[in-house]
Structure 1
Amino acid sequence: MTVDPFLPQPATGPGGAAAPPYGTAPRDDAARRAELAAFLRSRRERITPEQVGLPRGARRRTPGLRREEVAHLGAVGVTWYTWLEQARDIHVSPQVLDAVARALLLDRAERSHLFALAGAVDPMPGRECTGVTRELWQLLHQLTPFPAVVQNSRFDILAYNRTYGRLLCDLDAVPEEDRNCMWLAFTHPVWRAGLGDLEATLGVMAAKFRASMAEHLAEPAWKALVARLMEASPEFREIWAQHEVLRPVSAVKVFRHPRVGPLQLTATSLWTGPNPGPKLLYYTPVDETSRERLEQLAAEPAALAAV
């Protein structure tokens, strides 16, 4: 019989002896380990091999990743990870939890939940486990001078190359928690000034965000971003109330850069997995003038990016 760790258990132990009352440390620990095991399994099963650069293979029956694949991606022992999913009574270091969080591509809320269930202190709270592979990082930089960025469906900026980091503002100077295209488009003055048609861009972005959010309505990170935007931006509140939806499409975009001048670029998205989620977005110049200006932007000294 499966025992629900969140329900009270019988008050007697083996042989009729009185058992410790529900809520004492041993039983709390067991409940927490059981919930941790279930959480890890659920996160593992949602990730496709393609998302982390692994071959699917013809004989795969396991939904998502196998345990040994998670262990390999996190550089932790297979037995150790298996014991975690079996709710064994073992001590797990913050370093191992960090490695597992990275392997399972946990977002900020999920990472915090993982450390809470494990009863450990997160050494890097608020960190996003982007899952950007080394190969994807290499591709980003090989695309220079074309601007390129990896985003998830929430518009979080997970990785970017030098040109993208200078296209709309000095992105390196933006706090990590603010590196979200929705947040920047509605609240960052320099970013907004660089958008060729601000009003149209805001409407399209909000519509795409609402369409994507349909599959994430209960997720804390999505709700938190909407709440933050509602509080910070009257424009967002007005647009969000219209309930427009729009699926991603490629389009020519105009950017106004204060030093190199206007840029006409075609935006193209490449999904990094079989389902909409993290994607590589890159911009190619429409004309030779835009190409030359991109090359100029990519070659600028780093000190100019903040100007």
Structure 2
Amino acid sequence: MTRGDTTELAAALRQWRERLTPADVGLPAGPRRRTPGLRREEVARLAGVSVDYVVRLEQDRGPHPSTSVLGALARALRLSSAETGHLFDLAGVTLPGPGRVIDVVRPSVLRLLDRMQDLPAMLIDARKTLLAWNPLADALVGDISAIPRERRNLLWMRFGPDGHQGRGPVLDEDGGRERLDRSAVADARAALARYPHDAVLRDLVDELSRSSERFAGLWAERPVEDHRVDRKSYDLPGIGRITLDCDALEVPDDGQVLIVYSAAPGSPDAEKLDLLRVVGLQSV
């Protein structure tokens, strides 16, 4: 095996896919399966790529995968840190280094997310890109896997021209959006200062500056904030407005954040969250 070995890459991708079960990645088992492991369609959906792309990679006739695609495949296949490094080596791609955002997720963090079944939770990187999420986060935000992989980003979902995917923007607890808009831009500025060599983050900021007058105006104001606990409101079909506590838990050394939503026991919002567990999960 050599670095950039596409034949071995194809074999490894097939083997990693076949060792997983739907339950391992939070998917329903569905009809009886003729072959072990996940279907290619399931890996494609989890990674945000086309089924044809996965097929071609596994048949050693695919395109040269980018860093972001390799990171998405590593997350979809629940690879360990060593396996992720091996995946990048087989593809002939260098893992992100200093000055660039880490979007490879630790398996232990994915296991923690899998255990969070009663509360909406999602993992984001320093670019605000959604790396992983549980079914209740899908119910709260919308079908995240249906959003194109390159648009699964909280900044884009807030400011991009097609960002809301049929859902309105996340609101402050008083129903406004000014404070959260400013906070999101402050986070983006802090991330770019921390990762000055990250081309993906720079391109995201440049694209939003061109396409969103709101983002460009706030960016020019250079807001600076520091926050870890927040309250956010969502308008949900069949449920109405729900306001939840939003805690941001940092993953040490990786620049990633696990966002967890909850409501005080016995509150009206806790009752709505209970309803979301029933109604929302049925449509996910």
Measured in 2, the distance between the counterparts of 1:278 and 1:253 equals: 20
Residues 1:290 and 1:220: Cα distance change in structure 2 (over 3 Å):
same
Q: Is the 8 A contact 2:192 2:202 kept in 1?
A: no
- In structure 1, what residue type is equivalent to 2:116? L
Give secondary structure in 1 for the equivalent of 2:108: helix
| Residues paired across the two proteins, number | 198
Maintained 8 Å contact 2:158/2:169: no
Instruction: Give TM-score scaled by structure 2 length.
Output: 0.61
Q: Give deviations 1:248-271, integer Å, cap 9, x for gaps.
A: 321222222232122221111222
Question: Residue 168 of structure 1 aligns with which residue?
Answer: 141
> 1:150 aligns to what?
123
Say which SS state the counterpart of residue 299 (structure 1) adopts.
Answer: helix
Q: Of 233, 242, 245, which residue of structure 2 is paired with 1:263? A: 242
Aligned partners of 1:184 and 1:191 also within 8 Å: no
Q: 1:104 corresponds to which residue?
A: none
Q: Structure 1 168/192 Cα, relative in aligned 2: closer, same or farther at 3 Å?
A: same
- The counterpart of 2:232, out of the listed 253, 257, 268, is 253
Pair 124,223 (structure 1): closer, same or farther in 2 beyond 3 Å: closer
> How far is 1:300 from its partner?
2.6
**Which residue matches 1:277?**
255
Cα shift readout 1:39-61 (whole Å, capped 9, x = no counterpart): xxxxxxxxxxxxxxxxxxxxxxx
What code does the residue aligned with 1:255 have?
Y
Match of 1:122 among 64, 77, 84: 64
Q: Is 2:3 the counterpart of 1:93? A: no
Which of 219, 222, 237 lines up with 2:201 in the alignment? Answer: 222
Picking from 167, 181, 189, the partner of 2:154 is 181
Would you say the 8 A contact 1:140–1:148 is kept in 2?
yes
Instruction: Identify unmatched segments of 5+ residues in structure 1.
Output: 1-79, 85-90, 100-119
Change (3 A) 1:212 1:276: farther
Runs (5+) with no aligned partner, structure 2: 13-61, 72-102
Cα displacement string for residues 205-224 of structure 1 (whole angstroms, at most 9, x for unaligned residues): 10111112101123211111
Aligned to 1:192: 168
Question: Matched residues in 1 for 2:110 and 2:274: separation?
Answer: 20
Q: SS of the residue aligned with 1:214?
A: helix
Matches within 5 A, 1:1-307: 92-93=5-6, 95-96=8-9, 121-123=63-65, 126-127=68-69, 129=71, 130-187=103-160, 188-189=163-164, 190-196=166-172, 197-273=176-252, 275=253, 277-288=255-266, 289-300=268-279, 304=283
Higher relative contact order (CA 8 A, sep 6+): 2
Secondary structure, aligned partner of 1:225: helix
SS in 1 for 2:69: coil
Q: Deviations over 1:22-44 (max 9, x none)?
A: xxxxxxxxxxxxxxxxxxxxxxx
Seen in structure 2, the aligned counterparts of structure 1 residues 138 and 253 have a Cα distance that, compared at 3 Å, is same
Distance 1:97 1:236, change over 3 A: farther
